[in-house]
């Protein structure tokens, strides 16, 4: 009996090891240069034409677009390179301390064996366990909790916000805390199309509790779900050699101290139809090709700005995973986390403040939001005497 169990385990272990090695080979493209970050990450500088996007069947003969035909802030891209942030919020990435990727390459965080072994399966690494998007607070049981501002019912061609960056504490390794912009396609039909960009603490994905820049996209239909975080599947086409998706952000905001923030802008190029991403004032990161999507092919029907956590209710108690700064929004500036200058790109491709925005909070005694118009504060500590 014991020998039989041992043999079964051995064959399973060998298959898992083979699966892991094959997936690592698929994810980690040959590097022209590698940089070791102080946080233990290895950043590989991959030739721009060898990036994971081009493994996608729709992108086999794709011609890389190095810049969009249109910018909603009216910037030409030569000008945008010279625009510096006017706030105190110069955030960079930790790996920059040890080097940069050369022109013609893009930085990709190397996936390690232990990353894949943390996932529930090798095939699902980089996917979302909780992919449902819904502003209906009556939907229960998926573990996600929010404090956000949203608009719906229009034809949206993009969104913008400057997000205050913090390091929330996360209770369980399979929970996370994120703050992001979410762009959602029409949810009335079959499947969900979504784009996200922001920052998150996600141990299961990264193996640590650092605050990291992230993107996510998905296209679900009756037959299959595509999409992933960062560059962990084919899809997003990166054009920038300075910023690594999934890279650690530094410095971060201090309670009642210095505040740091990151600007995100996502918009649909009216000429090519691709969804472009800019981070900060000068980093045009790349784009999600229009061909990845169905309900986002023309425009989005909802935009969400705010925080999201997973609450697994371990031991029957609400999680102590923090959202934002871990403090309630009524504490205000330098204590609560905020989004400012949040805007939409409307159906005429004009960047403007949203009209008739709403808020969504499932458990206001755990996490909450206060919308002040051009800025909102959000977040909270999770479990506390009023949130059990």
Catalytic residue among 145, 175, 196, 261: 196
Q: In 3D, which of 280, 234, 320, 269 has the Cα closest to residue 53?
A: 234
Residue 308 is a catalytic residue: yes
Helices (H), the chain: 2-27, 77-82, 113-118, 203-206
Phi then psi dihedrals of residue 360, to 5 deg? -130, 120
Q: C-alpha distances in angstroms, 250 versus 36, 72, 94, 262?
A: 16, 28, 6, 11
Taking the chain, what is the end-to-end CA distance rounded to the nearest angstrom?
Answer: 46
Q: In 3D, which of 235, 193, 198 has the Cα closest to residue 214?
A: 198
Residue 232 pLDDT = 97
Which residues touch 315 (CB under 8 Å, ≥6 apart)? none
CA contacts within 13 A on the Cβ side of 98 = 15
Instruction: For the chain, 388 residues long, give each residue's pLDDT as a single digit of tens.
Output: 333 333 435 666 788 888 999 999 999 999 999 999 999 999 999 999 999 999 999 898 899 999 999 999 987 655 344 333 344 457 799 999 999 999 999 999 999 999 999 998 898 899 987 655 665 544 555 799 999 999 999 999 999 999 999 999 999 999 999 999 999 998 877 789 999 999 999 999 999 999 999 999 999 876 678 899 999 999 999 999 999 999 999 999 999 999 999 999 999 999 999 999 999 988 999 999 999 999 999 999 999 999 999 999 999 999 999 999 999 999 999 999 999 999 999 999 999 999 999 999 999 999 999 999 999 999 999 999 999 9
CA angle 178/244/173 to nearest 5° reads 35
Residue 7 pLDDT = 41
Structure tokens at 32: 């022209």
What span, in angstroms and rounded, lies between the C-alpha atoms of 102 and 35? 11
Question: Please, what's the largest Cα pairwise distance for the chain?
Answer: 72
What span, in angstroms and rounded, lies between the C-alpha atoms of 246 and 205? 9
Catalytic residue among 145, 261, 302, 308: 308
| Cβ proximity of 329 and 121 under 8 Å | no
Residue 132 pLDDT = 58
What span, in angstroms and rounded, lies between the C-alpha atoms of 60 and 66? 17
Q: In 3D, which of 147, 168, 144, 171 has the Cα closest to residue 330?
A: 147
Bridge partners for 177 per DSSP: 201, 309
Q: Do the bridges between strand 261-268 and strand 337-345 make them parallel or antiparallel, or are there none, so unpaired? A: unpaired
* Cis before 210? omega within 30: no
Length of the chain: 388
Residue 138 pLDDT = 44
Q: In 3D, which of 225, 198, 215 has the Cα closest to residue 131?
A: 225
What span, in angstroms and rounded, lies between the C-alpha atoms of 246 and 35? 15
Residue 312 pLDDT = 96
């Amino acid at each position: 009996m014991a020998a039989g169990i041992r043999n079964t385990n051995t064959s399973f272990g060998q298959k898992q090891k083979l699966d892991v090695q094959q997936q690592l080979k698929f994810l980690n493209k040959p590097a022209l240069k590698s940089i070791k970050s102080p946080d233990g990450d290895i950043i590989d500088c991959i030739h721009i034409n060898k990036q994971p996007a081009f493994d996608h069947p729709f992108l086999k003969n794709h011609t890389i677009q190095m810049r969009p035909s249109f910018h909603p802030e009216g910037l030409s891209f030569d000008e945008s390179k010279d625009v510096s942030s006017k706030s105190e919020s110069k955030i960079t990435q930790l790996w920059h301390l040890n080097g940069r990727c050369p022109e013609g390459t893009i930085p990709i965080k190397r996936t390690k064996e232990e990353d894949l072994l943390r996932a529930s399966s090798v095939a699902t690494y980089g996917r979302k366990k909780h992919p449902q998007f819904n502003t209906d607070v009556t939907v229960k049981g998926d573990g996600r909790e929010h404090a956000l501002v949203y608009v719906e019912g229009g034809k949206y061609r993009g969104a913008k916000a400057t997000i205050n960056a913090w390091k929330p504490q996360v209770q369980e390794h399979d929970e996370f805390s994120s703050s992001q912009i979410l762009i959602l396609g029409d949810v009335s039909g079959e499947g969900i199309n979504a784009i996200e960009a922001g920052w998150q603490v996600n141990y299961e994905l990264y193996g640590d509790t650092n605050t990291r820049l992230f993107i996510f996209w998905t296209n679900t239909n009756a037959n299959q779900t595509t999409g992933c975080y960062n560059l962990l599947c084919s899809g997003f086409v990166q054009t920038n050699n300075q910023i690594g998706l999934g890279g650690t952000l530094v410095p971060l905001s201090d309670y009642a101290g210095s505040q740091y923030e990151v600007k995100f802008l996502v918009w649909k190029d009216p000429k090519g139809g691709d969804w472009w991403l800019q981070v900060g004032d000068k980093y045009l990161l790349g784009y999600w090709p229009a061909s990845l999507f169905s309900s986002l092919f023309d425009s989005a029907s909802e935009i969400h700005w705010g925080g999201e956590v997973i609450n697994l209710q371990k031991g029957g108690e609400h999680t102590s995973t923090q959202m934002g700064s871990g403090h309630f929004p009524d504490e205000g500036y330098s204590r609560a986390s905020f989004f400012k200058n949040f805007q939409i790109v409307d159906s005429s491709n004009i960047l403007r403040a949203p009209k008739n925005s709403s808020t969504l909070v499932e458990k206001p005694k755990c996490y909450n939001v206060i919308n002040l118009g051009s800025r909102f504060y959000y977040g909270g500590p999770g479990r506390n005497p009023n949130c059990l």
